[in-house]
Amino acid sequence: MDPARAAEVSGVVAEKMLHYRRDESGWKTCRSGKGVTISWRPSTEFPGNLYKGEGIIYGTPEEVWKFLLPADNGLRAKWDENVKDLQVLELIKDDLLITRTITPSAAMKLISPRDFVDLVLIKKYDDGTITSNATYLDYPSCPPQSGYVRGFNHPCGCFCEPVPGEPNKTHVVSFFQTDLSGYLPQKVVNSFFPHSMAELYNNLQKAVNKLQE
């Protein structure tokens, strides 16, 4: 992909992510417990929902980020039940890459395996926050493949934010607005995301705990 075009697209996505992070209007809580809150509001990108997850993970932002970093043979597929494999298709710059994420079947196999091709920008802010900023990409070198339904991630990602005065804690804020494609009942989609996002926080904390042992 043309690096200038990739930088332009990813920059727009990063700005949208900042807007999602700062805009507190319209969110409705759909799941809460064990220190994790999942909320939603209608997406402005597609006929679906934008979901937000918030929770504290016990670990520094750098420690937590190791488990969220998109990388070949990275840690994500080892702890995240919703990621079967993550492949880097193209490394444009150290902080800008194209990935393919493969997800297993879910919701008692009502949701069949999916794959997603995304442009991902890794961005760090002056306050120590580390972020991923991603959106789907039409990438001719990786067309839809047999056995997987091609899904589409509209602007999404996460923020690993320092907690003031508590260096061993990280405030993780995640955003998902995913078109799973295929012929899925909306009820299945609406129940899948809050549950899977809550489990993400639970499994992320377990993974970080093992690092600290």
| Distance separating alpha carbons of residues 23 and 21, to the nearest angstrom | 6
* pTM metric for this prediction: 0.95
- Which residue shows structure tokens 């900023």? 133
Task: State how far the Cα of 64 lies from the Cα of 58, in Å rounded to an integer.
Answer: 8
For 41-75, b where at least 16 C-beta lie within 10 A, e where not — what string? bebebeebbbbbbbbbbebbbebbbbbbebeeebe
pLDDT in tens, the chain (213 residues): 999 999 999 999 999 999 999 999 999 999 999 899 999 999 999 999 999 999 999 999 999 999 999 999 899 999 999 999 999 999 999 999 999 999 999 887 789 999 999 999 999 999 999 999 999 999 999 999 999 999 999 999 999 999 999 999 999 999 999 999 988 888 888 889 999 999 999 999 999 998 877
Q: How far apart are CA 15 and CA 30, in angstroms?
A: 26
Q: In this predicted structure, what is the pLDDT of residue 187?
A: 86
Domain boundaries in the chain?
Answer: 3-212
Give the pLDDT score at 188.
Answer: 87
What pLDDT does 64 receive?
97
Which residues, 6+ apart, have CB-to-CB distance to 194 below 8 Å? 30, 31, 38, 40, 51
Q: How far is CA 208 from the centre of its chain?
A: 17
Give the tokens for residue 78. Answer: 């080892």
Architecture of the CATH domain 3-212? 2-Layer Sandwich (3.30)
84 φ/ψ sector (left φ>0, alpha ψ -120 to 50, else beta):
alpha
Taking a C-beta distance cutoff of 8 angstroms, is the pair 39, 55 a contact? no
Q: Give alpha helix (H) positions in the chain.
A: 3-22, 61-68, 76-79, 186-212
Query: Residue 209 has what pLDDT?
Result: 93
- Residue 108 has a pLDDT of 78
How many CB atoms sit inside 10 A of residue 35's CB? 13
